[in-house]
Chains A and B, each alone.
Chain A
Amino acid sequence: MSMEAGIGVMGTKLGMMTFFEPDGTVVPVTVVGFREGNIVAQVKTAATDGYDAVQVGYRRVRDRKLTKPELGHLEKAGAIPMRHLQEFRLQSVDGFEPGQRLVVEDIFKEGDLVDVSGNSIGKGFQGGIKRHNFRRGLMTHGSKSHRALGSIGAGTTPGRVYKGKKMPGRMGGTKTKIRKLKIVKIDSELRVVMIKGAVPGKPGNLLRITPAKIVGKNIPKN
Protein backbone atom coordinates (compact mmCIF):
# COMPACT_ATOMS: atom_id res chain seq x y z
CA MET A 1 0.00 0.00 0.00
CA SER A 2 1.24 3.47 -0.68
CA MET A 3 1.51 6.22 1.84
CA GLU A 4 -0.27 9.52 1.97
CA ALA A 5 1.62 12.77 1.91
CA GLY A 6 -0.09 13.94 5.05
CA ILE A 7 -3.19 13.46 7.13
CA GLY A 8 -6.39 14.03 5.20
CA VAL A 9 -10.04 14.52 5.99
CA MET A 10 -13.32 13.21 4.75
CA GLY A 11 -15.99 15.46 3.40
CA THR A 12 -19.26 15.58 1.55
CA LYS A 13 -19.72 17.00 -1.91
CA LEU A 14 -22.33 19.74 -1.74
CA GLY A 15 -22.47 21.10 -5.25
CA MET A 16 -20.76 23.47 -7.62
CA MET A 17 -20.82 27.19 -8.10
CA THR A 18 -18.74 29.93 -9.60
CA PHE A 19 -16.22 31.98 -7.76
CA PHE A 20 -15.00 35.35 -8.89
CA GLU A 21 -11.36 36.01 -8.20
CA PRO A 22 -10.50 39.62 -7.36
CA ASP A 23 -8.99 40.19 -10.77
CA GLY A 24 -12.14 39.03 -12.48
CA THR A 25 -11.26 35.48 -13.41
CA VAL A 26 -14.17 33.14 -13.13
CA VAL A 27 -13.35 29.86 -11.43
CA PRO A 28 -15.71 26.89 -11.31
CA VAL A 29 -15.55 25.49 -7.79
CA THR A 30 -16.90 22.48 -6.00
CA VAL A 31 -18.22 23.16 -2.54
CA VAL A 32 -17.28 20.47 -0.02
CA GLY A 33 -18.98 20.45 3.35
CA PHE A 34 -18.06 18.65 6.53
CA ARG A 35 -20.48 16.79 8.68
CA GLU A 36 -19.89 16.10 12.30
CA GLY A 37 -16.95 13.76 12.29
CA ASN A 38 -13.32 13.63 11.32
CA ILE A 39 -12.33 12.20 14.65
CA VAL A 40 -9.39 9.87 15.05
CA ALA A 41 -10.70 6.45 15.99
CA GLN A 42 -7.51 4.45 16.14
CA VAL A 43 -3.81 4.96 15.68
CA LYS A 44 -1.94 2.02 14.24
CA THR A 45 1.78 1.74 14.71
CA ALA A 46 4.38 -0.57 13.28
CA ALA A 47 4.82 -2.17 16.68
CA THR A 48 1.20 -3.15 17.18
CA ASP A 49 -0.16 -3.57 13.63
CA GLY A 50 2.84 -3.75 11.36
CA TYR A 51 2.29 -0.39 9.67
CA ASP A 52 1.68 3.23 10.59
CA ALA A 53 -1.73 4.64 9.96
CA VAL A 54 -4.37 6.88 11.45
CA GLN A 55 -7.96 5.71 11.30
CA VAL A 56 -10.44 8.54 11.00
CA GLY A 57 -14.20 8.38 11.29
CA TYR A 58 -16.85 10.54 9.68
CA ARG A 59 -20.52 11.33 9.85
CA ARG A 60 -22.34 10.88 13.07
CA VAL A 61 -25.19 8.39 13.10
CA ARG A 62 -27.76 7.11 15.53
CA ASP A 63 -26.67 4.47 17.99
CA ARG A 64 -29.02 1.96 16.49
CA LYS A 65 -27.43 2.13 13.09
CA LEU A 66 -24.12 0.63 14.15
CA THR A 67 -23.45 -2.90 15.33
CA LYS A 68 -22.22 -3.45 18.84
CA PRO A 69 -18.70 -4.36 17.77
CA GLU A 70 -18.48 -1.12 15.82
CA LEU A 71 -19.86 0.90 18.70
CA GLY A 72 -17.43 -0.67 21.10
CA HIS A 73 -14.55 0.08 18.78
CA LEU A 74 -15.50 3.75 18.72
CA GLU A 75 -16.16 3.95 22.43
CA LYS A 76 -12.68 2.68 23.11
CA ALA A 77 -11.45 5.87 21.50
CA GLY A 78 -14.08 7.92 23.23
CA ALA A 79 -15.64 9.01 19.96
CA ILE A 80 -19.23 9.52 18.87
CA PRO A 81 -20.86 6.81 16.78
CA MET A 82 -19.69 7.34 13.24
CA ARG A 83 -20.52 5.58 10.05
CA HIS A 84 -17.49 5.72 7.82
CA LEU A 85 -13.99 4.74 8.89
CA GLN A 86 -11.01 5.25 6.65
CA GLU A 87 -7.32 4.93 7.24
CA PHE A 88 -4.64 7.35 6.22
CA ARG A 89 -1.33 5.61 5.97
CA LEU A 90 1.45 7.96 6.99
CA GLN A 91 5.15 7.82 7.44
CA SER A 92 5.07 8.92 11.04
CA VAL A 93 2.09 8.79 13.34
CA ASP A 94 3.28 11.16 16.07
CA GLY A 95 0.88 13.74 17.26
CA PHE A 96 -2.32 11.77 16.79
CA GLU A 97 -4.29 10.26 19.63
CA PRO A 98 -7.58 8.43 19.57
CA GLY A 99 -10.42 10.85 20.09
CA GLN A 100 -8.63 13.79 18.56
CA ARG A 101 -10.72 16.03 16.36
CA LEU A 102 -9.19 16.99 13.04
CA VAL A 103 -9.78 20.61 12.15
CA VAL A 104 -9.78 21.38 8.46
CA GLU A 105 -8.32 24.85 8.87
CA ASP A 106 -5.18 23.44 10.49
CA ILE A 107 -4.51 20.85 7.85
CA PHE A 108 -5.32 22.81 4.69
CA LYS A 109 -5.05 26.42 3.72
CA GLU A 110 -6.03 28.36 0.66
CA GLY A 111 -3.89 27.71 -2.37
CA ASP A 112 -2.97 24.16 -1.36
CA LEU A 113 -3.10 21.36 -3.85
CA VAL A 114 -5.15 18.35 -2.85
CA ASP A 115 -6.12 14.95 -4.17
CA VAL A 116 -9.80 14.18 -3.96
CA SER A 117 -11.08 10.66 -4.26
CA GLY A 118 -14.59 9.36 -4.16
CA ASN A 119 -17.05 7.02 -5.82
CA SER A 120 -17.78 8.14 -9.35
CA ILE A 121 -21.29 8.27 -10.75
CA GLY A 122 -22.49 4.85 -11.85
CA LYS A 123 -23.38 4.59 -15.50
CA GLY A 124 -24.55 0.98 -15.62
CA PHE A 125 -23.78 -1.50 -18.34
CA GLN A 126 -22.21 0.48 -21.15
CA GLY A 127 -20.91 -0.38 -24.58
CA GLY A 128 -17.48 0.04 -26.03
CA ILE A 129 -18.01 3.51 -27.40
CA LYS A 130 -18.92 5.13 -24.11
CA ARG A 131 -16.78 2.94 -21.92
CA HIS A 132 -13.54 2.82 -23.87
CA ASN A 133 -13.90 5.68 -26.37
CA PHE A 134 -14.07 3.33 -29.33
CA ARG A 135 -15.03 4.80 -32.68
CA ARG A 136 -18.24 3.73 -34.31
CA GLY A 137 -18.67 2.46 -37.83
CA LEU A 138 -20.32 4.22 -40.73
CA MET A 139 -23.96 4.98 -40.36
CA THR A 140 -24.79 4.72 -44.08
CA HIS A 141 -23.08 3.58 -47.23
CA GLY A 142 -24.17 0.01 -46.70
CA SER A 143 -22.39 -0.49 -43.40
CA LYS A 144 -23.88 -3.06 -41.07
CA SER A 145 -21.80 -2.23 -38.04
CA HIS A 146 -22.52 1.01 -36.27
CA ARG A 147 -21.71 0.73 -32.58
CA ALA A 148 -20.32 -2.79 -32.47
CA LEU A 149 -16.88 -3.75 -31.23
CA GLY A 150 -15.39 -4.74 -34.54
CA SER A 151 -12.64 -7.29 -34.45
CA ILE A 152 -11.62 -8.75 -31.11
CA GLY A 153 -8.45 -10.54 -32.10
CA ALA A 154 -6.21 -12.15 -34.70
CA GLY A 155 -6.76 -15.54 -36.42
CA THR A 156 -5.61 -19.06 -35.77
CA THR A 157 -2.63 -17.73 -33.92
CA PRO A 158 -3.23 -17.11 -31.06
CA GLY A 159 -6.71 -18.57 -31.52
CA ARG A 160 -8.15 -16.89 -28.46
CA VAL A 161 -9.09 -13.50 -27.15
CA TYR A 162 -6.54 -11.82 -24.93
CA LYS A 163 -7.32 -11.15 -21.31
CA GLY A 164 -8.14 -7.57 -20.68
CA LYS A 165 -9.69 -7.04 -24.07
CA LYS A 166 -11.82 -3.94 -23.83
CA MET A 167 -15.44 -4.97 -24.04
CA PRO A 168 -18.80 -3.66 -22.84
CA GLY A 169 -19.42 -3.86 -19.13
CA ARG A 170 -20.35 -1.93 -16.05
CA MET A 171 -18.99 1.56 -16.02
CA GLY A 172 -18.67 4.02 -13.19
CA GLY A 173 -19.48 3.60 -9.54
CA THR A 174 -15.87 2.97 -8.65
CA LYS A 175 -13.34 4.80 -6.57
CA THR A 176 -11.74 7.57 -8.57
CA LYS A 177 -9.03 9.99 -7.56
CA ILE A 178 -8.56 13.43 -9.06
CA ARG A 179 -5.12 14.84 -8.45
CA LYS A 180 -3.76 18.28 -7.83
CA LEU A 181 -6.87 20.34 -7.31
CA LYS A 182 -6.43 23.75 -5.82
CA ILE A 183 -8.24 24.91 -2.73
CA VAL A 184 -9.76 28.24 -3.58
CA LYS A 185 -11.40 29.22 -0.33
CA ILE A 186 -11.93 27.89 3.16
CA ASP A 187 -14.96 29.17 5.00
CA SER A 188 -14.69 28.54 8.70
CA GLU A 189 -18.16 29.65 9.62
CA LEU A 190 -20.09 27.38 7.36
CA ARG A 191 -17.37 24.69 7.59
CA VAL A 192 -16.99 24.54 3.87
CA VAL A 193 -14.07 24.25 1.51
CA MET A 194 -14.16 25.39 -2.09
CA ILE A 195 -12.05 23.35 -4.48
CA LYS A 196 -11.40 24.38 -8.03
CA GLY A 197 -12.74 21.99 -10.62
CA ALA A 198 -14.99 18.97 -10.44
CA VAL A 199 -14.87 15.98 -8.12
CA PRO A 200 -16.33 12.51 -8.48
CA GLY A 201 -19.92 11.80 -7.58
CA LYS A 202 -23.11 13.74 -7.07
CA PRO A 203 -23.97 16.12 -4.21
CA GLY A 204 -24.07 14.12 -1.01
CA ASN A 205 -21.16 11.90 -2.00
CA LEU A 206 -18.44 10.97 0.48
CA LEU A 207 -15.06 12.37 -0.47
CA ARG A 208 -11.59 11.73 0.82
CA ILE A 209 -9.37 14.80 0.65
CA THR A 210 -5.64 14.43 1.12
CA PRO A 211 -2.67 16.66 0.39
CA ALA A 212 -1.48 16.13 -3.16
CA LYS A 213 1.30 13.60 -3.61
CA ILE A 214 3.93 15.42 -5.61
CA VAL A 215 7.36 13.92 -6.16
CA GLY A 216 9.07 16.72 -4.32
CA LYS A 217 7.11 16.01 -1.17
CA ASN A 218 7.10 12.25 -1.17
CA ILE A 219 9.99 9.92 -0.60
CA PRO A 220 11.11 8.93 -4.11
CA LYS A 221 11.92 5.31 -3.42
CA ASN A 222 10.35 3.88 -0.32
Chain B
Amino acid sequence: MLVGGVSRRWVASVVRSAGACRYASAFPASQLFVLYSQENTLHTHRELIRSHNWTLKPQITGNIPLLRSLMTMGQQELSSGQESSVASHETSQSQRIKFKRLDKTAKHIMNILDNEAVDKVQTEREIPDIRPGYIVQLKVEVPENKRRTSVIKGIVIARRNAGLNTTFRLRRLAAGVGVESVFPLYSPNIKEMKVLDKKKVRRAKLYYLRDRMNPLKK
Protein backbone atom coordinates (compact mmCIF):
# COMPACT_ATOMS: atom_id res chain seq x y z
CA MET B 1 0.00 0.00 0.00
CA LEU B 2 2.82 2.29 0.87
CA VAL B 3 4.50 1.55 -2.40
CA GLY B 4 1.22 2.15 -4.18
CA GLY B 5 0.69 5.39 -2.32
CA VAL B 6 4.12 6.71 -3.04
CA SER B 7 4.01 5.91 -6.67
CA ARG B 8 0.56 7.36 -7.00
CA ARG B 9 1.62 10.65 -5.56
CA TRP B 10 4.72 10.67 -7.65
CA VAL B 11 2.76 9.90 -10.73
CA ALA B 12 0.18 12.55 -9.99
CA SER B 13 2.89 15.14 -10.27
CA VAL B 14 3.26 14.24 -13.89
CA VAL B 15 0.48 16.04 -15.67
CA ARG B 16 -2.53 13.87 -16.43
CA SER B 17 -0.58 10.68 -16.92
CA ALA B 18 -1.81 9.77 -13.46
CA GLY B 19 -5.17 8.84 -14.79
CA ALA B 20 -3.56 7.15 -17.72
CA CYS B 21 -1.33 4.71 -15.97
CA ARG B 22 -3.86 3.94 -13.30
CA TYR B 23 -6.24 2.59 -15.82
CA ALA B 24 -3.98 1.51 -18.57
CA SER B 25 -2.44 -1.02 -16.29
CA ALA B 26 -5.34 -3.40 -16.55
CA PHE B 27 -4.77 -3.91 -20.21
CA PRO B 28 -1.87 -4.95 -22.37
CA ALA B 29 -1.66 -1.40 -23.60
CA SER B 30 0.35 -0.66 -20.49
CA GLN B 31 3.25 -2.47 -22.00
CA LEU B 32 3.08 -0.21 -24.98
CA PHE B 33 2.82 2.81 -22.75
CA VAL B 34 6.10 1.99 -21.15
CA LEU B 35 7.60 1.24 -24.50
CA TYR B 36 6.77 4.69 -25.78
CA SER B 37 8.07 6.39 -22.71
CA GLN B 38 11.36 4.66 -23.09
CA GLU B 39 11.67 5.56 -26.67
CA ASN B 40 10.96 9.09 -25.60
CA THR B 41 9.64 10.48 -28.82
CA LEU B 42 6.30 11.86 -29.81
CA HIS B 43 5.20 9.19 -32.20
CA THR B 44 2.87 10.08 -34.99
CA HIS B 45 -0.70 10.16 -33.99
CA ARG B 46 -1.61 7.18 -36.08
CA GLU B 47 0.90 4.94 -34.40
CA LEU B 48 -0.48 5.83 -31.03
CA ILE B 49 -3.95 4.94 -32.10
CA ARG B 50 -2.79 1.76 -33.73
CA SER B 51 -1.21 0.65 -30.51
CA HIS B 52 -4.45 0.99 -28.60
CA ASN B 53 -6.38 -1.45 -30.72
CA TRP B 54 -8.35 1.02 -32.73
CA THR B 55 -11.04 1.45 -30.14
CA LEU B 56 -10.62 5.14 -30.30
CA LYS B 57 -14.03 6.28 -29.30
CA PRO B 58 -15.88 4.48 -26.58
CA GLN B 59 -12.87 3.30 -24.78
CA ILE B 60 -11.89 1.01 -22.09
CA THR B 61 -10.85 3.52 -19.47
CA GLY B 62 -7.65 5.25 -19.94
CA ASN B 63 -6.94 4.88 -23.57
CA ILE B 64 -8.16 8.30 -24.47
CA PRO B 65 -6.51 10.02 -21.53
CA LEU B 66 -3.51 7.95 -22.42
CA LEU B 67 -3.61 9.23 -25.94
CA ARG B 68 -4.10 12.78 -24.85
CA SER B 69 -1.36 12.68 -22.33
CA LEU B 70 1.08 11.10 -24.70
CA MET B 71 0.40 13.75 -27.22
CA THR B 72 0.73 16.68 -24.90
CA MET B 73 3.77 15.47 -23.02
CA GLY B 74 6.81 14.42 -24.87
CA GLN B 75 8.77 12.76 -22.12
CA GLN B 76 7.74 10.33 -19.47
CA GLU B 77 10.16 8.91 -17.03
CA LEU B 78 8.25 6.09 -15.45
CA SER B 79 9.85 2.91 -14.39
CA SER B 80 7.96 -0.22 -15.11
CA GLY B 81 8.27 -1.35 -11.53
CA GLN B 82 6.40 1.58 -10.08
CA GLU B 83 3.77 1.40 -12.71
CA SER B 84 2.94 -2.21 -12.08
CA SER B 85 2.61 -1.61 -8.36
CA VAL B 86 0.14 1.15 -8.99
CA ALA B 87 -1.56 -1.19 -11.38
CA SER B 88 -2.13 -3.98 -8.94
CA HIS B 89 -3.55 -1.60 -6.38
CA GLU B 90 -6.05 -0.01 -8.70
CA THR B 91 -7.10 -2.88 -10.95
CA SER B 92 -10.05 -3.86 -8.85
CA GLN B 93 -11.86 -0.56 -9.02
CA SER B 94 -11.14 0.50 -12.60
CA GLN B 95 -12.99 -1.93 -14.81
CA ARG B 96 -15.61 0.55 -16.00
CA ILE B 97 -15.94 1.51 -19.59
CA LYS B 98 -15.53 5.20 -19.96
CA PHE B 99 -16.84 7.32 -22.76
CA LYS B 100 -15.69 10.68 -23.92
CA ARG B 101 -18.13 13.33 -25.00
CA LEU B 102 -18.98 12.97 -28.63
CA ASP B 103 -17.78 16.36 -29.74
CA LYS B 104 -14.51 16.05 -27.84
CA THR B 105 -13.53 12.87 -29.62
CA ALA B 106 -14.71 14.47 -32.82
CA LYS B 107 -12.33 17.37 -32.41
CA HIS B 108 -9.59 14.99 -31.40
CA ILE B 109 -9.83 12.98 -34.58
CA MET B 110 -10.16 16.12 -36.67
CA ASN B 111 -6.94 17.43 -35.18
CA ILE B 112 -5.17 14.20 -35.92
CA LEU B 113 -6.31 14.16 -39.52
CA ASP B 114 -5.33 17.75 -40.00
CA ASN B 115 -1.89 17.38 -38.47
CA GLU B 116 -1.22 14.27 -40.46
CA ALA B 117 -2.16 15.85 -43.72
CA VAL B 118 0.05 18.83 -42.97
CA ASP B 119 2.96 16.59 -42.01
CA LYS B 120 2.60 14.60 -45.16
CA VAL B 121 2.83 17.65 -47.33
CA GLN B 122 5.68 19.05 -45.27
CA THR B 123 7.76 15.96 -45.88
CA GLU B 124 6.98 15.88 -49.56
CA ARG B 125 7.68 19.49 -50.41
CA GLU B 126 9.84 21.96 -48.67
CA ILE B 127 7.55 24.79 -47.62
CA PRO B 128 9.36 27.81 -46.22
CA ASP B 129 7.97 30.08 -43.59
CA ILE B 130 5.83 32.70 -45.26
CA ARG B 131 4.93 35.83 -43.39
CA PRO B 132 3.44 39.14 -44.45
CA GLY B 133 6.13 41.36 -45.88
CA TYR B 134 8.08 38.59 -47.56
CA ILE B 135 8.72 38.77 -51.26
CA VAL B 136 8.13 35.31 -52.60
CA GLN B 137 8.57 33.61 -55.92
CA LEU B 138 6.31 30.65 -56.73
CA LYS B 139 6.30 28.10 -59.49
CA VAL B 140 2.64 27.28 -59.94
CA GLU B 141 1.22 24.66 -62.26
CA VAL B 142 -2.05 25.81 -63.72
CA PRO B 143 -4.07 22.75 -64.70
CA GLU B 144 -5.89 24.44 -67.55
CA ASN B 145 -4.15 22.53 -70.31
CA LYS B 146 -0.82 24.11 -69.55
CA ARG B 147 2.16 22.82 -67.69
CA ARG B 148 4.74 24.54 -65.61
CA THR B 149 3.93 28.08 -66.55
CA SER B 150 3.55 30.88 -64.12
CA VAL B 151 6.56 31.87 -62.25
CA ILE B 152 4.76 34.25 -59.93
CA LYS B 153 6.58 36.80 -57.90
CA GLY B 154 4.96 39.10 -55.42
CA ILE B 155 4.68 40.30 -51.87
CA VAL B 156 2.72 38.44 -49.25
CA ILE B 157 0.17 40.78 -47.77
CA ALA B 158 -1.84 38.42 -45.61
CA ARG B 159 -1.68 34.94 -44.19
CA ARG B 160 -4.57 33.02 -42.73
CA ASN B 161 -3.87 29.97 -40.58
CA ALA B 162 -6.37 27.13 -40.77
CA GLY B 163 -4.42 23.91 -40.56
CA LEU B 164 -4.34 22.23 -43.93
CA ASN B 165 -6.26 25.07 -45.50
CA THR B 166 -3.77 27.76 -44.63
CA THR B 167 -3.85 30.41 -47.33
CA PHE B 168 -1.82 33.46 -48.14
CA ARG B 169 -2.49 36.44 -50.37
CA LEU B 170 0.07 37.51 -52.88
CA ARG B 171 0.07 40.91 -54.53
CA ARG B 172 1.99 41.43 -57.72
CA LEU B 173 2.16 43.57 -60.79
CA ALA B 174 1.02 41.47 -63.71
CA ALA B 175 1.24 43.26 -67.04
CA GLY B 176 1.16 46.66 -65.40
CA VAL B 177 -1.96 45.85 -63.39
CA GLY B 178 -1.95 45.13 -59.67
CA VAL B 179 -3.24 41.63 -59.05
CA GLU B 180 -3.95 39.93 -55.75
CA SER B 181 -4.21 36.16 -55.63
CA VAL B 182 -4.98 33.75 -52.85
CA PHE B 183 -3.03 30.51 -52.70
CA PRO B 184 -3.50 27.51 -50.41
CA LEU B 185 -0.13 26.94 -48.80
CA TYR B 186 -0.30 23.16 -49.08
CA SER B 187 -1.79 22.90 -52.52
CA PRO B 188 -0.19 20.29 -54.74
CA ASN B 189 -0.22 22.83 -57.56
CA ILE B 190 2.50 24.96 -56.02
CA LYS B 191 5.61 23.26 -57.16
CA GLU B 192 8.22 25.43 -55.60
CA MET B 193 8.38 28.39 -53.26
CA LYS B 194 11.32 30.63 -52.69
CA VAL B 195 11.65 33.58 -50.38
CA LEU B 196 13.56 36.35 -52.11
CA ASP B 197 13.44 39.17 -49.62
CA LYS B 198 11.98 40.09 -46.28
CA LYS B 199 10.66 43.55 -45.73
CA LYS B 200 10.13 45.00 -42.33
CA VAL B 201 6.45 45.54 -41.67
CA ARG B 202 4.57 46.33 -38.53
CA ARG B 203 1.32 44.71 -39.42
CA ALA B 204 -0.11 41.29 -40.06
CA LYS B 205 -2.29 42.29 -42.97
CA LEU B 206 -0.83 44.77 -45.40
CA TYR B 207 -3.98 45.93 -47.12
CA TYR B 208 -2.77 49.52 -47.10
CA LEU B 209 -0.50 48.63 -50.00
CA ARG B 210 -3.51 48.67 -52.27
CA ASP B 211 -3.55 52.43 -52.14
CA ARG B 212 0.15 52.75 -52.62
CA MET B 213 1.18 51.33 -55.94
CA ASN B 214 4.82 51.59 -55.14
CA PRO B 215 6.79 50.33 -58.13
CA LEU B 216 9.11 48.45 -55.81
CA LYS B 217 7.70 45.06 -56.82
CA LYS B 218 4.52 45.04 -54.81
Contact = CB atoms under 8 A, between A and B. Distances in A.
A12 B106 contact: yes
Nearest to B102: A204
A52 B12 CA distance: 55
Contacts of B109: 14, 31, 33, 190, 192
Interface in B106-154: 106-107, 109-110, 112-114, 117, 141, 143
B46 A190 contact: yes
Interface stretch (B25-33, B48-56, B172-180, B206-214): B48-56
Interface residues of A, number: 29
Contact of B113 (A22, A24, A31, A59): A31
Residue picked from B58, B117, B143, B189, most chain A C-beta under 10 Å: B58
A192 B184 CA distance: 24
B39 interface: no
A33 B106 contact: yes
Given A15-B107, A21-B188, A33-B106, 18 more contacts: A12-B102, A14-B106, A15-B110, A17-B110, A20-B184, A20-B186, A23-B143, A24-B187, A24-B188, A31-B113, A35-B57, A60-B97, A189-B50, A190-B56, A190-B109, A192-B113, A203-B106, A204-B106
Interface of B: 46, 49-50, 54-58, 96-97, 99, 101-103, 105-107, 109-110, 112-114, 117, 141, 143, 163-165, 184, 186-189
Interface of A: 12-15, 17-18, 20-24, 26, 31, 33-36, 59-62, 187, 189-192, 202-204
